[in-house]
Structure 1
Amino acid sequence: MRKDVDNMKLNPRDQQIFAAVMSMYCNGDGLPVPSTKIAKQKGMAVCSATVRNAMARLEKIGLLYSPHTSAGRVPTNDGFDYWFDEFFTLNDIANYWQPEQAELVELAHGLSQRYQVCCCVGLPQVRTQQVFRVEVLDFDANNWLILLLDRAGQSHNICINKPDDPSDGQRYEFATWLNTVFSQQTLIEGLYRMQAMANTAPRNCHDSLTQWTLELSQKLGSDNSIVVGENYLYKKIDCEQSLNIGVSFLNFVEDKLAFKNGVSILSAENLPFSTCDDLIVITVPYFQNQEYQSRFCVICPKSAQLEKIIQEFKLLEPSSS
């Protein structure tokens, strides 16, 4: 049916009525929208008969359908596709968004609570974060604590075993060497430099250096994500089994939308959840120093407040540098 939509242009009144149906359906309830409710909407200035005729035309070309006799209309999958294509400039929203990790976590919790949706967020790839300063602290009787800090003051911390007969002087010497290796380098570049320059490290720290190199390599190779609001999802959708939302889901979305910037929408037929046909995903990639990091995904039923969620992404700063 989408072919009919592509080959015709809706007149302004049908466009307005279609947009009103979409806004009323996507309000969190997902109830069929009757013509009488459209006619009473402020600024519509049309009678119910005019609205019914427009709805009939929209149903004929496959944008709406009536789930029951005498019921209101609800949007079809083609209707959602048409709505996103014609009424939103998704590619221009949140282009090259470069948030800090704290902003990602705050936004995920905020959107989840305000709109009762699930958010899945890939955390920044630590390997690309640039080190500004390294500190070595006397953590406890057996360990030093290594802090790798970026310019924003965020740090990656790893405990290493103290060398034999440690002293403050040795700790300062080791910290000086680490700053030489890591300063102004990304974590992954610093790791390579540390391995290449190992023979220049303070001799009494060689054993600790081997241990720390291994731990840092393991940390850089790990994927991580946060998921909030899954309980909202299961309350609102009819799903036979739990959904696998996390790193594997983010990898699926990344493969599906490779090289695509701005906000993207994935409908149920493009998702890995075969048992749930009422889901939609609003997703946007984010970057650091213009380098892709991961994706921020909102997973929700089609009846969620999609316009307002997209508006939240419109308010994001596209770039912090």
Structure 2
Amino acid sequence: MKITARDQQIFTAVMGLYCDNEGSPVASSKIAKQKGMAVCSATVRNVMARLEREGLLYSPHTSAGRVPTEAGFKYWFEEFFELSKIATYWQPQQHQLVEFAHGLSQKYQVCCCVGLPQASSRLVFRVEVLGFDSESWLVLLIDKAGQSHNICIKKPDNDSDAMRYQFAAWMNTVFSQQTLIEGLHRMRAMAHSAPPECHDQLAQWTRELSQQLGTDNSIVVGERYLYQSLELESELNIGVPFLHQVEDKLAFKNGVSVLYANELSTLNIEESIVISLPYFTEGEYQSRFCIICPVYAPIEAIIGEFSQIETVGS
């Protein structure tokens, strides 16, 4: 593209004025009045006409000002943001993911969809076995942050505190300083060394844990903002299927990435984008933090929040 420095200055001004949560066409007179823009309206009009011929802008109505095209957005992201270098290998705690999602959603009135950390990679610090009720034990696998993965199992027929303590000691031998998935493998391999009275409980617990480790989960906040801003009537499929599609599209891409919502069958909505960032635990990929918003949302400010994400995740 034959884009001069002045063309780029006017183009970025259009993008900044359009992405203000309103999405109104940007007039040349408004550009000329911007601070530091030492050009007249006629010059701005000429540049905007040239940008339109390049396919970066278009005019929805005669004399209505210009708005960016999809090609214009792509050019903006590629030329003015080093997205792949933003927040590489972010390693947040789960509570930070949730807090960040709620904070961004409320501040910018956007929808956030976040895949929760995979339970299978959580490192177990200790195991406790508690008497839950008259029929069940509660097994707690606790990590260093004090968060626990909990499963109820049926008590043995001759239940006693001594037996429960013995079973807890064996579980600590198996799981301490292991990830959940590795502990599950060790538990199967070491089942012969478990207290004989607890073999039935062990089989049940192994089955329950295996099922739980195979499930995905996510949180969605601010969904109402998306429905309101886009005036949607049909329900969107935002959640784990959406995250899986994003992962397929952005496999092995680190840093911030941008997709158009109409590229995803789970959304298939126009004039919207998905801003996505992967996160990790102990260097292992977990899932993605995604923002779904109209193209006229304050995108530059949102990306600025991601640029500070190392502080958020520290």
Kindly report structure 1 stretches of 4+ aligned residues shifted beyond 6 Å: 318-321
Unmatched 5+ stretches in structure 1: none
Equivalent residue, structure 2, for 1:101 = 94
Structure 1 position 167, deviation (Å): 2.1
Equivalent residue, structure 2, for 1:167 = 160
Structure 1 position 198, deviation (Å): 1.0
Q: Which residue of 130, 134, 147 maps to 1:137?
A: 130
Equivalent residue, structure 2, for 1:279 = 272
Structure 1 position 274, deviation (Å): 7.1
Equivalent residue, structure 2, for 1:302 = 295
What amino acid is the match of 1:203?
Answer: P
User: What does the per-residue CA deviation read over 1:92-119, in whole Å, with 9 as the maximum and x for residues that have no partner?
Assistant: 0110111111111111111111111111
Query: Equivalents in 1 of 2:313, 2:238: separation in Å?
Result: 29
Across the aligned residues of Structure 1 and Structure 2, the Cα RMSD in angstroms comes to: 1.6
Pairs within 5 Å for 1:1-321: 5=1, 8=2, 10-239=3-232, 241-272=234-265, 276-317=269-310
User: What does the per-residue CA deviation read over 1:106-134, in whole Å, with 9 as the maximum and x for residues that have no partner?
Assistant: 11111111111111111111011111111
Query: Equivalents in 2 of 1:220, 1:122: separation in Å?
Result: 14
More displaced stretch, 182-191 vs 81-90: 182-191
Query: Equivalents in 1 of 2:191, 2:157: separation in Å?
Result: 18
Q: Specify the SS of the correspondent of 1:226.
A: strand
Query: Equivalents in 2 of 1:308, 1:180: separation in Å?
Result: 49
Unmatched 5+ stretches in structure 2: none
* Change in CA separation of 1:174 and 1:320 when aligned onto 2, cut-off 3 Å: farther
TM superposition score normalised by structure 1? 0.94
User: What does the per-residue CA deviation read over 1:218-276, in whole Å, with 9 as the maximum and x for residues that have no partner?
Assistant: 10011111111111111111545221111111111111111111100001442225752
Query: Equivalents in 2 of 1:299, 1:311: separation in Å?
Result: 16
* Change in CA separation of 1:308 and 1:274 when aligned onto 2, cut-off 3 Å: closer
Query: Equivalents in 2 of 1:48, 1:268: separation in Å?
Result: 34
What amino acid is the match of 2:260?
Answer: S
User: What does the per-residue CA deviation read over 1:125-183, in whole Å, with 9 as the maximum and x for residues that have no partner?
Assistant: 10111111111122222222111111222110111122223222222111110010011
Residue pair 1:268, 1:279 contacting (<8 A) in 2 also: yes
Query: Equivalents in 1 of 2:264, 2:13: separation in Å?
Result: 27
User: What does the per-residue CA deviation read over 1:64-95, in whole Å, with 9 as the maximum and x for residues that have no partner?
Assistant: 11111111110000100000001100000110
Q: Specify the SS of the correspondent of 1:45.
A: coil
More displaced stretch, 236-245 vs 263-272: 236-245
Q: Specify the SS of the correspondent of 2:291.
A: strand
* Change in CA separation of 1:273 and 1:187 when aligned onto 2, cut-off 3 Å: closer
- Residue identity over aligned pairs, in percent, reads 68
Count of residue pairs brought into register by the alignment = 314
Structure 1 position 34, deviation (Å): 0.8
* Change in CA separation of 1:50 and 1:309 when aligned onto 2, cut-off 3 Å: same
* Change in CA separation of 1:240 and 1:314 when aligned onto 2, cut-off 3 Å: same
Q: Specify the SS of the correspondent of 2:139.
A: strand
Q: Specify the SS of the correspondent of 2:207.
A: helix
